[in-house]
Amino acid sequence: MINAWEEVANLKLSKGSQFGLVIVALMTLVAILAETIAPYDPMQVVLKDSLQGPNYKHLMGTDLLGRDILSRIIFGARASFLIGVIATSISLLIGIMVGSVSGYYGGWVDSLVMRLTDIFSAFPYFLMAIIIMTFFEPSMISVFLVLGIVGWTNYARLVRGQVILVKVSSYVEAARSIGAKDGRIILYHVFPNILSPLIVYTTMNIAGVILAEAGLSFLGLGVQPPTPSWGIMLSEGKDFIFNAPWLIFWPGAALLFSVIGYNLLGYGLRDRLDPRSKQGGESNGSRLVNSCQRS
């Protein structure tokens, strides 16, 4: 039986993936230690400091209400990190349950579950999130739930495909022959052997969830002011793009680097955990890094 967690612990990442890991680790630390490292209260209004450019007192400048941009970027990292991890966990849990049942039992159960999955997949991810959010009061909890609910279909398809491959393995047949229950077989014999692709996809999916949260907050459907969010900061700064460009530069840069970090880490994990990607010559992560360097 393959222990995916041991593979992750022992693998050696490429330089690009190591850079992604550094970004992800830094974002995680910033989110956890926000109260400690933020120089100011991110919601403190100081009108006399309105729209100050970067200076020794406010390293990233201030917004229209005189709030410190650096402090709001730091606390915005917490919002993005929490939503990314929690919403992805909800999608992962739903996808594992649906995909495991569909792939393991097959037949009419598989057909019914996959048709329901097709119906959900027919709607674009972000558009469906916008539609559902209109029925809820905008808040961080609503974003958790909505992004988690609309993102389960890809997990279900991935898990289903992996379960179909694993359920015919000799150790699964041996467990079935000695009378092991279906639930025990799925939990102890099937699930540990499909962890590798799940770890890879989950890492890359967090980047998409962070972007979706920023988009919802930008439209006023996500995290609500005065709670710091990179999407809110972009929305508030869009009217000052020429007069105070730092209002959109810093949250945009934070959003860009966080997404790049998760994607680079995901590509590196895929290159190491998926044997097929090792046979294709230059890795996907390396191609991404090289294309970024050329551009």
Examine residue 221 and state whether it is found in any structural domain, yes or no.
yes
Q: How far apart are CA 129 and CA 234, in angstroms?
A: 19
Res. 276 pLDDT band, cuts 50 70 90: low
Mean pLDDT to the nearest integer, 141-162:
92
Residue 64, domain member (yes or no): no
Asked if residue 218 belongs to a domain, the reply is yes
Average pLDDT estimate for 220-225: 90
pLDDT at 17: 85
Which carries the bigger pLDDT value, residue 158 or residue 172?
A: 158
Q: In this predicted model, what pLDDT tens digit does every residue of 36-57 receive, in sequence order?
A: 999 999 999 999 999 999 999 9
Q: What is the pLDDT of residue 274?
A: 63
Q: Tell whether 139 is covered by a domain.
A: yes
* Mean pLDDT score of the chain: 86
For residues 242 and 177, the answer to whether their CB atoms sit within 8 Å is no
pLDDT grade, residue 289 (50/70/90)?
very low
Is residue 123 a part of any domain in this protein?
yes
How would residue 12 be classed by pLDDT, with cut points 50, 70 and 90? low
Q: Is residue 125 assigned to a domain?
A: yes
User: What's the pLDDT score for residue 1?
Assistant: 45
Which of the pair, 261 or 288, is modelled with greater confidence?
261
Domains of the chain: total: 1
The per-residue pLDDT for 187 is 84
Q: What's the pLDDT band for 262 if we cut at 50, 70, 90? A: very high
- What is the model's pLDDT at position 88? 95
Full domain range(s) for residue 251: 13-36+69-276
CATH classification at residue 78 = 1.10.3720.10
Q: What are phi and psi of 261, to 5 degrees?
A: -60, -50
6-15, 51-60, 149-158: the lowest-pLDDT one: 6-15
140 inside domain: yes
Least confident range from 54-58, 130-134, 196-200, 270-274: namely 270-274
Flag whether 257 is in a domain. Answer: yes
| Mean pLDDT value across residues 232-242 | 92
